[in-house]
Each structure stands twice: as C-alpha cells, then as structure tokens.
C-alpha cells in the first residue's frame, strides 16, 4: 500500500488567515506555487487559496487585495486526506471533490499537499489520466 505521506510534497507553507491577498500573492510568487493552504492562528488548516481565487473573487469584483484577507476567501471545511491513508483514497477524494491539490494532515497538523504532479510522478499513466479527466469535468 502506498500512503499519502509517501506521495505528498512536504515543507508546505501556509498563508495566515489574517494576511492580505497581496501578502498571499507575493508568497505564491516567491514559492512559485499557484495555491497555498490557509492556516489559522491555531495553525489549523482553514482552507485553500489559489491565484485564481485572488483574481476572480477579489480583483474581478473590484476588491482591494491589500485589505481583503486570505481567510475571507476560504470557503467551507477544507477537503483533506490523512497522511497514512492509501493513495487510492486520495485519488477518489480528489475526483469526488474535483480538487487539484489535496492537503495532507496528520491529526490536526498540516504535513503536506498532494498535487496532480505528485500523482503523475508516483502512479501509472492510466491513473493519472483518469484523475486529470475527472477533475477537469464540470
């Protein structure tokens, strides 16, 4: 059995829920990523923020990214996977919720993220193709 922990990218950095979208965008730029987990003051995962969220939910609506916080764009309970869960469960979760990045938690601690690239590097071409196809459906 291959676990989420074996496939995930480690060393994940969060954007704090009270940080502005400008701060989040700079962090994304510096880390060369398109998404960041949103973490609360208690270090618990509050959601995910993507570069697309910043554009569509703030800029396109005339919002001020220097005053809008990352936490204000986190919607609902984040979709996660346990670090010791089987990778097939991660695949099914990504498909079911149509997410491209899946935070990996150990207890209440964020320990990594599984992305489509992580899947592509770890699983067969068929499994990767199925995942991309199902996530891309609307």
Summarised one tens digit per residue, pLDDT across range 16-67 is 999 999 999 999 999 999 999 999 988 889 999 999 999 999 999 999 999 9
Per-residue pLDDT at 136: 60
Per-residue pLDDT at 66: 97
Q: Supply the range of the domain harboring residue 87.
A: 4-136
The count of domains in the chain is 1
Write the pLDDT tens digit of every residue in 82-132.
999 998 898 899 989 988 899 999 988 899 999 888 887 876 666 656 655
Given a cut of 90, is residue 6 above it in pLDDT? yes
Per-residue pLDDT at 52: 93
* pTM exceeds 0.85, yes or no: no
Please choose, from the candidates 66, 94, 68, 60, the residue with its C-alpha nearest in 3D space to the C-alpha of residue 80: 94
Instruction: For residue 1, give every residue at least 6 positions away whose Cβ sits within 8 Å of its Cβ, in sequence order, or none.
Output: 86, 87
Question: How many whole angstroms separate alpha carbon 47 and alpha carbon 60?
Answer: 21
Pairing of strands 81-82, 109-115: unpaired
Per-residue pLDDT at 135: 58
Measuring CA to CA, how many Å separate 126 from each of 9, 39, 83, 133? 21, 34, 23, 10
Q: For residue 116, what is the domain's CATH number? A: 3.10.580.10
Measuring CA to CA, how many Å separate 133 from each of 71, 116, 121? 30, 11, 17
Write the pLDDT tens digit of every residue in 66-93.
999 999 987 778 899 999 999 889 889 9
């Amino acid at each position: 059995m291959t676990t989420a922990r074996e496939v995930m990218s480690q060393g994940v950095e969060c954007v704090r829920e009270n940080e502005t979208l400008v701060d989040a965008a700079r962090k994304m730029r510096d880390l060369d990523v398109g998404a960041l987990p949103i973490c609360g003051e208690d270090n618990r995962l509050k959601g995910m923020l993507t570069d697309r969220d910043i554009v569509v939910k703030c800029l396109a609506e005339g919002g001020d990214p220097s005053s809008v916080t990352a936490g204000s764009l986190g919607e609902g309970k984040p979709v996660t996977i346990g670090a010791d869960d089987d990778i097939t469960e991660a695949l099914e979760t990504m498909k079911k919720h149509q997410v491209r990045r899946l935070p990996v938690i150990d207890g209440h601690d964020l320990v990594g993220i599984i992305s489509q690239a992580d899947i592509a590097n770890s699983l067969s071409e068929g499994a990767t193709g199925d995942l991309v196809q199902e996530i891309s459906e609307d």
